[in-house]
Amino acid sequence: MIDGVSRPTLLLVHGAWHGGWCWEKLASVLHADGWRTRAVDLPSAGGRAGVQDDAQVVLGELERIEGPVVVVAHSYGGIPVSQAVAQAGNVSQIVYLAAYQLDVGESLLGFHGAPVSPGPRDVEAVPDDPVGLFYGDVPRSEAEQAAARLVPQSTQSFRDALTRAGWHTIPSTYIVCEDDRALPVQSQQTLAARSGAVHRIKSSHSPFLSMPGELAALLSEIALASEPGTRRTS
């Protein structure tokens, strides 16, 4: 029987330019349904850290959680999560939410066919029109409040290639956001082909803000179906 004690903890990992704050609305819904959640703040957001630094933060948080964990990675967050979970022993499932499910040797810039050699910038400024890019279906006032909290993102985090990819041995699920303007659906579908299961949600890039109830229900379904300790062989 799965109850409030034996349920896995959900570790929520944000994407570029964001912070752990972006999960607050979703976490509130999940808590009301009896789920335990944790969120991290990746040092690449607002700093100059790379993927390995972000992965160490994720791994450190995993080591502090007792029992099985379902890791939910959004957008860029999928990259350090893939790196970190390969070294963790308590992850029962990875959920890639419109996220970069990259393989060993791949980087975010490389996936998009962009040059990965060092350039003149240390950080990537917050994109123009973040409301339209990230929060197209979020109420305008709430979207503007979220956009005001965005910070520059480390360019290094976009250049760094994975040296490990935990999804080769840990079950993974991909959630495609069908109205996403930040990570095109075609790119998501290419990445989702690497997951063991695929779900679709009709949302912008940020369903944790636009439809937290629907996303929470889907995450609950995925997490309840996960079997702690089950690992695939690559």
- Any idea where the domains of the chain sit in the sequence? 9-225
Confidence (pTM): 0.94
Mean pLDDT score of the chain: 93
pLDDT in tens, 27-54: 999 999 999 999 999 999 999 999 999 9
Mean pLDDT (whole number) for 70-82: 98
Q: What is the pLDDT of residue 225?
A: 87
CB of 65 within 8 A of CB of 90? yes
Give pLDDT, residue 6. Answer: 76
In the structure, what pLDDT confidence band is assigned to residue 26 with cuts at 50, 70 and 90?
Answer: very high
Choice among 94-103, 118-127, 222-231 with the minimum mean pLDDT:
222-231
181 and 135 in contact (C-beta within 8 Å)? Answer: no
Angle (CA) 177-183-184 rounded to 5° is 80
The CATH architecture assigned to 9-225 reads: 3-Layer(aba) Sandwich (3.40)
Identify whether the C-beta of residue 162 lies closer than 8 Å to the C-beta of residue 79: yes
